[in-house]
Each structure stands twice: as C-alpha cells, then as structure tokens.
Amino acid sequence: MALKSTIFKAELSVSDMDRPYYGSHTLTIAQHPSENDARMMVRLLAFACEASETLAFTRGLDEPDEPDLWDRKLTGDIEHWVELGQPDEARLKRAAARSDRVTVYAYSGASAREWWKSMAGKAGKLRNVTVYNVPADAVDALAALTQRAMRLSVTIQDGEIWVSDDDRNVQLTLDVLQRAAS
C-alpha cells in the first residue's frame, strides 16, 4: 500500500517591501512521504518570496513534469516556474523554455554549492533563470518552525527575510547565484 501525503495548514502573511507585495494566504500543503520538513519549509519560503494572488503549489514530487510552484496565466501558459533543489541541465532548460521566468531555490548546503559549480556556465546561458541558495542554518531553523497548523508572518526588506511564528523568528538572506536578465 502506498503511503499518503501528510497535510499541513498554513496561514501565511507576506509583507514584501522589495517588490512591493502584501498579502495573506491560507495554504494547504501536502507533504509527500519522501519529503522532509526542511524541504517542505523551503517550499513555503519560496512561496512567500514569490507570492502573488495566482501562485500555487503543484503536485510537485508526484508529477515529474511540474515544478514545485507555478504561476499560470489565464491561458494556462506558465508565467513563473519555481523549482526546489538541484535540477539537472535538461530540466532547467525545459523549465526555461516552458515559462516566462524560472526561479530555483537550492538548499542542501555543501552539495548545493557543488551543484552550482557544475551548473553555473550552463545556467548562465538561460536568460530567464534566477538561482538562489538558501543557507543550511536557515533551512534547519525553518524546519524547526514546522507544525501541522502554522501561522507564519514573512517580512522581506532589502534582501533580508524574517519568518516568524508566535514564538520564534528566523532571519536569513538568500545567496544570489544568478539573476535573470532584465
């Protein structure tokens, strides 16, 4: 018998002064049986950093042809493809061809840095791709915020990100590995 996803609920309040975007989102997050708390919380962080009224979680790990998050136009075309982890060159090229812009959130510490060393030249040719690395200590701190029902506030200003619940606060800065061409 296949294992089922674990369902988490999150009330997410986003105040992004860098874009500017301000919104509240009531989210249902299905944690795949193979997904740990750290990866799920990086997904939630990516949602907060890229938040819009139309950004949505996809089937993610259950569907290899979909990103972790996407923002789709009314026509069904993908406007923004958000990927977690360390996609290979073929997946990154496919994402760049299928969407207007792509954002990757790498998060596995030393292995993410090694992945980027091998991908930097290849990704540099893809003009609509932005790549961030989430620092390992921040990933651990975000994972510590995991609860089945979460109420999180995310504030973004001058590249600094604060994620807080009622009791704890996580401060982080994403390492920018590549910015999409303007």
Residue 92 lies in a domain: yes
Q: Which amino acid is at 97?
A: A
Q: Match 């303007």 to its residue by tokens.
A: 182
Residue 3 lies in a domain: no
Q: Match 């799920």 to its residue by tokens.
A: 40
Q: pLDDT value at position 11?
A: 98
Residue 42 lies in a domain: yes
Residue 4 lies in a domain: no
Residue 152 lies in a domain: yes
How many folded domains does the chain comprise?
A: 1
Angle at 135 between CA 130 and CA 137, to 5 degrees: 160
d(CA 53, CA 108): 29
d(CA 153, CA 166): 9
The residues pairing with 83 across neighbouring beta strands, listed in sequence order, are 104
| Predicted confidence (pLDDT) per residue in 65-77, tens digit | 899 999 999 998 9
Q: pLDDT value at position 97?
A: 96
Domain of residue 169, CATH code: 3.10.640.10
Residue 157 lies in a domain: yes
Q: Is 143 left (phi over 0), alpha (psi -120 to 50) or beta?
A: alpha
User: With 70 as the cut, is the pLDDT of residue 1 above it?
Assistant: no
| Predicted confidence (pLDDT) per residue in 118-166, tens digit | 999 999 899 999 999 999 999 999 999 999 999 999 999 999 999 999 9
Structural domain that includes position 97: 11-178
Q: pLDDT value at position 142?
A: 97
| Predicted confidence (pLDDT) per residue in 28-83, tens digit | 999 988 899 999 999 999 999 999 999 999 976 666 789 999 999 999 899 999 99
Q: Which amino acid is at 55?
A: L
The residues pairing with 112 across neighbouring beta strands, listed in sequence order, are none
